[in-house]
Structure 1
């Protein structure tokens, strides 16, 4: 299992410089990848390109870019440009986002999200390879061939339900997860996506799992802190469904929390579940937690 690090958005007048420093430190510490979320502040693709171009040889991933606000060919062009600037180190993580965001904030129709993602991938994947795409779906159309450099980067889907997981295995290069515990990955995520990839004659998919991590001698307080920081994810339907599958009442219940021995044991459980890439979202006791992760990444 490879280890990645979740970047935190720097405050202050130079956020790109702050990201650049974090990426350099993650590479120096031995992490194989660094990931940035795309919510309501920095645009992840643009920020990673600005901060990562000319930097160390570490994968840079988006977790995740919402699909609805951007035509798939436009996103393909942007990602290809970024990948060219990064020397082929981009991993494009995409996702549907949530109804409250897509309908309530952006004003798009969130009806039949599975159909939307299928049509989106039908355009995005070949377009990002430089192929001519001539496509007419129910909601999306394209007749275009991009000549942008930087073709051929991995595309990962935020996939949790059976239909989306099958799509991620059959068409994309894997999935990127959040708030999904090891039991759910072992019993639901990994078998579904792996079987879909095999049926489609594709290589085994990447399963990128991101979870909150804290090394501590006071796990009860750290779990409570995780519940406070990540409370919204216990309310969003897609993540709530994964927490329920895991038997987790709150987000803190899937956080990887405890002393060094306990956290290492939990990371081994994640690996046994079928995760190919673990991305640590360190939310407290940063130096102690990071030191443990550095050691784990080097094993």
Structure 2
């Protein structure tokens, strides 16, 4: 089945104002809606609404951080979506970032690989209805049992950027979720998980033919994201370490404007999909051609009608 996803909620659009668009998504050819969780909506509420407006859509979190909820609360949140959208909900979990975990949520960002692995193993047991008492390496749980066990446990996918986490996703979860990559990067990621594991990626799409505006927005996003250590390491692994080194140096010195200017056009054009809707769709298809299972559009604001842009970016047979 060809998958085609959209990130919700759209920027600046109230949650309840999404209903008409989400109801239309299946007829437009969209198969999935995926949420995120940083400092906007939580990851679960937009999906709960979407489950009632368009029951045929698959719903996914990309991602719910493993640090910002206790293990039991994370299991409860997942079980709720699995109850209202049986076989349609995918729980995507991951580490998030030190800024979100420590600065915004008073947590400790320690041992991210182990914490993700342990949370995955706990969730497998809890969502299957087991009473869990376990001393995991990164946390302990005593006598936790869901009161409302989903009839069908949700699939669980892991956010993964480099070989260790990608291999864990392939071995113990139902798929890998990645971010900030170009079509040509997909084969390298795919090689770590094998041919049969689902690979989901959020792709930033700016549907405008104003190349200067698209690149300016892209540079702001790239400098904000790719200076985060986990993304910097990801792009070192992908082979962009040298070309992004000037950006990192200027960012570290506090020169944000200079850091943006240091990002080459070709890097922006690789990582940000922009152009006419047809051009954008063609590039999205190139991700799939290179081994991506599920492209998830993250629509960047251009000042245009976002609902019309979502319609224009719908897949074509």
TM-score of the two chains, using structure 1 as the length reference: 0.84
In structure 1, the residue matched to 2:219 is 227
Q: 1:109 — aligned with what? A: 108
Aligned length: 286
Task: Indicate the residue corresponding to 1:160 in structure 2.
Answer: 161
Comparing 93-102 with 49-58, greater Cα deviation is found at: 49-58
Q: Distance in 1 between matches of 2:44 and 2:308?
A: 30
Whether 1:177 aligns to 2:193 is: no
- RMSD between superposed Cα atoms in Å: 2.6
Whether 1:208 and 2:208 are equivalent positions in the alignment is no
What does residue 198 of structure 1 align with?
Answer: none
**CA–CA separation in structure 1 for the residues paired with 2:33 and 2:125:** 26
1:43 to 1:130, Cα distance in 2 relative to 1, 3 A? same
Residue 191 (1) aligns with residue 203 (2)? no
Cα distance in structure 1, aligned partners of 2:214 and 2:181: 18
Q: CA deviation at 1:20?
A: 3.0
Task: Check whether the contact 2:60–2:92 (CA below 8 A) recurs between aligned residues.
Answer: yes
Distance 1:287-1:10 versus aligned 2 partners, 3 A rule: closer
* 5+ residue gaps, structure 2: 245-262
Contact 2:198/2:294 (<8 A) preserved: yes
Over 3 Å counting, the alpha-carbon distance change for 1:282 and 1:10 in structure 2 is closer
1:1-299 equivalence runs, <5 A: 1-9=2-10, 11=12, 15-53=14-52, 55-142=54-141, 143-150=143-150, 151-187=152-188, 189-194=189-194, 204-229=196-221, 231-244=223-236, 245=238, 247=240, 249=244, 250=263, 252-253=268-269, 254-259=271-276, 262-283=279-300, 284=302, 286=306, 289-294=309-314, 297-299=315-317
Task: Tell me the SS of whatever aligns to 1:213.
Answer: strand
Distance 1:270 1:108 in 2: 35
Secondary structure at 1:155 match in 2: strand
Say which SS state the counterpart of residue 146 (structure 2) adopts.
Answer: coil
How far apart are 1:40 and its partner, in Å?
1.7
Could you tell me how far 1:99 is from its partner in structure 2?
1.4
Contact map agreement 1:17 1:51 (CA 8 A) in 2: no
Conservation of the 8 A alpha-carbon contact between 1:45 and 1:62: yes
Q: Distance in 2 between matches of 1:268 and 1:298?
A: 10
TM-score by length of 2: 0.80
Gap change, CA 1:287 and 1:44, over 3 Å in 2: closer
